[in-house]
């Protein structure tokens, strides 16, 4: 069993050496660029750790892990076009550095290349892996569409929001673990449990993201906090605030989130955070993070494998909980 | 063995009944819309016909045929964004009817759904089908990128052009037939031959497309002829014209294809067609179409199956040759 950082390092070394080049170079350069922007490598690490948990080796799960990271980066690439995001991990996003057409097509190619790596699985295991991966890919698209739909709406409730982040973010964490488990020859029952672990971990992960955007230590966070509030993003914090607000507070939130008005950013941020503080939104969100973390750990506990082997995955829960960025 | 039109009808009936719906509807409506715009259904028909040729049944190859048609329509959807094409098969393209973000994301979902149908193959055959399909998907993306790169260039030679259309168009015809062949349990050698048949058929198909755009009977063609010339598209006709032109003709072509000038469309069209006629470009292109058709038929001939069974595929060669649109 390898620890989280060892797995990250192992995967980064592989990506470093793997060539994502080909002709025409205009198509491949953005793929190579995107994969070398780094990131936490959370999904491939989960895939590798799950395979090891059930007794497989790292090399068994490596191609699937690369396929999953390719898929994840493809979604970021296309999301950045849709969100008109100029930056990704502190560097220009692909559609900014090249152009939208290159970003669409190199994204499509990354998606196909993800399947190329998935296709390297053992023949007997490919049908199940193919099915989990494909079902998840469709769910991630559905999640992104819900997220875009929410932008057009005035109000979204908690249940709708959790469904959206489950699809957009959490199922891919679940699938990464499940695919690692399939490669590691886990039982049907354990595959269900490791998937549930990942799904709940993923929801906690996204809620923590929402929290950090408003409350992170500016220096540790590495980018401007409060961006979600300034851009009227429907986060868990805002949804919870609307749920708990009294009439006066609701009116005030509606006032500051009125798209037709051009707010002074700092004034809006201060006013909204003041309401969040009055309503204990930070604590409410933390409570929710804990709830999903607990559900994740319960699923992990139920897996019939010695506790000692679960250390890496438990450490990942802890790492995601304590992170400041 | 079923004929071409029977296979078209069979496939259209299936698509008619198949539901491509789900939540959120903003994501699925464009998929359903695109699949119901019709078209020749050439690729799924080739897949079905190839499966029958080698002794399989239509229902054996049906899911693969649907997967291939989904993939093809996904490429059209994303190509229409990249080419800023307002219309598709006489109807508004998806990015026009909805918007670019919806077109990107519903395209991505169609690509994933293509894999969903591909994944319904017999377990023992999935690895090979998965591999052919994925390799082809990457080649189609490469072809589209070459096509976009060519737009930025002043000159493209014949070899480069044939490579581009092989990747963008021909390999998917080859792969449709090969996948049908895998399902129909063809031998390795016959799979190679049926793929070559499709690849050469695909090149002939695209050259014929280029020809029709300039020389089709306006009424039969159903849309404006000469559009490729007006929009400065690098077609086989133009490449051949530059190859055969004398200095004076070359100068004239360069003059009319100068992007910085704003031509009267009819004047430009008449002048360019006049040069094409002087150089026998129509006949030169027809010669080339025949060459690739002949190569296709030679590959089909080499397949060790009674001639009677090859009637459907031969009829498709003939149909594509004689078509007026």
Q: Can you give the pLDDT at residue A63? A: 98
**Partners of residue A116 in chain B, C-beta under 8 Å:** 134-135, 138
| Residue B91, helix vs strand vs coil | strand
| Residue A88, helix vs strand vs coil | strand
Nearest alpha carbon to residue A125 among A191, A70, A174, A173? A191
Residue that has been written with the tokens 């152009």 in this structure: A99
CA A205 from chain centre, in angstroms, equals 7
pLDDT 10s digits, A169-192: 999 999 999 999 999 999 999 999
pLDDT exceeds cutoff 90 at A86? yes
Mean pLDDT for the stretch of residues A249-261 = 90
pLDDT 10s digits, A302-319: 999 999 999 999 999 999
Mean pLDDT for the stretch of residues A242-247 = 97
Residue that has been written with the tokens 């959206």 in this structure: A164
Residues in chain B: 325
Dihedral pair phi/psi, residue A91, rounded to 5°? -125, 160
Using pLDDT thresholds of 50, 70 and 90, give the confidence band for residue B289: very high
Q: Can you give the pLDDT at residue B262? A: 84
Q: Is the CA virtual torsion A86, A91, A92, A95 positive or negative?
A: negative
Here the tokens at position A111 are 């998606």
What is the pTM for the complete model shown? 0.97
Here the tokens at position A301 are 């506990």
pLDDT exceeds cutoff 90 at A219? no
Bridge-partner residues for A88, per DSSP? A91
pLDDT exceeds cutoff 90 at A1? no
pLDDT exceeds cutoff 90 at A248? yes
**Partners of residue A149 in chain B, C-beta under 8 Å:** 24, 26
CA angle B266, B93, A116 (to 5 degrees): 115
pLDDT 10s digits, B220-266: 888 889 999 999 999 999 999 999 999 999 999 999 998 788 889 99
Residue B233: which residues within 8 A CB-CB, separation 6 or more? B151, B227
Question: Cβ contact (<8 Å) for A109 and B138?
Answer: yes
Question: Cβ contact (<8 Å) for A116 and B134?
Answer: yes
| Domain count within chain A | 1
A221 touches chain B (CB under 8 A): no
Mean pLDDT for the stretch of residues A87-102 = 95
**Partners of residue B81 in chain A, C-beta under 8 Å:** 101, 104
Residue A183 CB coordination number (10 Å): 26
Query: In sequence order, what DSSP letters do the residues of B225-255 get, joined into one string?
Result: TTHHHHTT---HHHHHHHHH--HHHHHHHHH
Question: Cβ contact (<8 Å) for A115 and B130?
Answer: yes
Residues in chain A: 325
User: By CA distance, what is A129's nearest residue in B?
Assistant: B119
Percent of chain B with pLDDT over 90: 92
**Partners of residue B144 in chain A, C-beta under 8 Å:** 105
Can you tell me the distance from the alpha carbon of A323 to that of B183, in angstroms, rounded to the nearest whole number?
50
First and final CA of chain A: distance in angstroms? Answer: 27
Which stretches of A54-125 are DSSP H helices?
58-82, 94-97, 100-118
Using pLDDT thresholds of 50, 70 and 90, give the confidence band for residue B325: confident
B135 touches chain A (CB under 8 A): yes
Residue that has been written with the tokens 């004239």 in this structure: B252
Element (H, E) at B125: none
Domain, as residue range, for A148: 4-322
B227 touches chain A (CB under 8 A): no
Residue B124 CB coordination number (10 Å): 10
Mean pLDDT for the stretch of residues B263-284 = 96
Question: Cβ contact (<8 Å) for B142 and A116?
Answer: no
pLDDT exceeds cutoff 90 at B213? yes
pLDDT exceeds cutoff 90 at B46? yes
Can you tell me the distance from the alpha carbon of A154 to that of A131, in angstroms, rounded to the nearest whole number?
36
Please say whether the beta carbons of B276 and B257 come within 8 A.
no
DSSP conformation class of A92: E
Nearest alpha carbon to residue A169 among A190, A197, A200? A200
CA A186 from chain centre, in angstroms, equals 24
User: By CA distance, what is B74's nearest residue in A?
Assistant: A108
Lowest mean pLDDT among A173-182, A215-224, A238-247: A215-224
Interface contacts A/B by beta carbons within 8 Å: 108
pLDDT 10s digits, B142-188: 999 999 999 989 899 999 999 999 999 999 999 999 999 999 999 99
Question: Cβ contact (<8 Å) for B27 and A145?
Answer: yes
Dihedral pair phi/psi, residue B317, rounded to 5°? -55, -45
Bridge-partner residues for A92, per DSSP? A87
A contact test, residue of B21, B27, B84, B150 with most A CBs within 10 A:
B27
B131 touches chain A (CB under 8 A): yes
Dihedral pair phi/psi, residue A223, rounded to 5°? -145, 170
Mean pLDDT for the stretch of residues A215-221 = 87
pLDDT 10s digits, B9-42: 999 999 999 989 999 999 999 999 999 998 999 9
Q: Can you give the pLDDT at residue B97? A: 97
Bridge-partner residues for A87, per DSSP? A92
Q: Can you give the pLDDT at residue A260? A: 81
Here the tokens at position B239 are 């490449």
pLDDT exceeds cutoff 90 at A325? no
A138 touches chain B (CB under 8 A): yes
Q: Can you give the pLDDT at residue B221? A: 86
Residue that has been written with the tokens 């673990």 in this structure: A177
User: By CA distance, what is B115's nearest residue in A?
Assistant: A134
HSE of A108, CA atoms in CB hemisphere, 13 A: 35
Q: Is the CA virtual torsion A284, A290, A292, A294 positive or negative?
A: negative
ipTM of the complex: 0.97
Mean pLDDT over the full length of chain A: 96
CATH label of the domain that carries residue B93? 1.10.600.10
**Partners of residue A115 in chain B, C-beta under 8 Å:** 115, 130, 134, 137
């Amino acid at each position: 069993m390898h620890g989280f950082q060892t797995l990250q390092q192992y995967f980064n070394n592989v990506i470093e050496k793997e060539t994502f080049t080909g002709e025409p170079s205009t198509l491949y350069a953005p793929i190579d660029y995107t994969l070398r922007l780094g990131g936490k490598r959370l999904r491939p690490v989960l895939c590798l750790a799950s395979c090891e948990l059930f007794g497989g080796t790292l090399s068994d799960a490596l191609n699937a892990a690369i396929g999953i990271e390719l898929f994840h980066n493809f979604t970021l690439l296309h999301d950045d076009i849709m969100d008109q995001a100029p930056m990704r991990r502190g560097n220009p996003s692909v559609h900014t550095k090249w152009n939208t057409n290159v970003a669409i097509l190199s994204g499509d190619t990354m998606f196909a290349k993800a399947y190329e790596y998935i296709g390297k699985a053992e023949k007997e295991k490919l049908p199940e892996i193919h099915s989990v991966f494909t079902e998840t890919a469709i769910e991630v698209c559905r999640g992104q569409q819900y997220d875009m739909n929410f932008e057009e709406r005035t109000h979204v409730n908690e249940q709708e929001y959790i469904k959206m982040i489950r699809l957009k973010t959490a199922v891919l964490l679940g699938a990464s673990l499940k695919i690692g488990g399939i490669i590691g020859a886990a039982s049907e029952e354990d595959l269900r449990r490791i998937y549930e672990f990942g799904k709940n971990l993923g929801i906690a992960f996204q809620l923590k993201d929402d929290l950090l955007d408003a409350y992170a230590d500016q220096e540790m966070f590495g980018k401007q906090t409060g961006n979600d509030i300034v851009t009227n993003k429907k986060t868990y914090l805002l949804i919870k605030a609307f749920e708990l607000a009294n009439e006066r507070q609701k009116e005030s939130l509606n006032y500051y989130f009125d798209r037709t008005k051009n707010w002074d950013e700092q004034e809006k941020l201060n006013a909204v955070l003041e309401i969040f503080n009055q309503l204990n939104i930070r604590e409410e969100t933390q409570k929710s993070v804990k709830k999903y973390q607990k559900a994740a750990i319960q699923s992990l506990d139920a897996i019939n494998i010695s506790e000692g082997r679960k250390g890496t995955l438990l450490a990942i829960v802890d790492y995601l909980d304590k992170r400041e960025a």
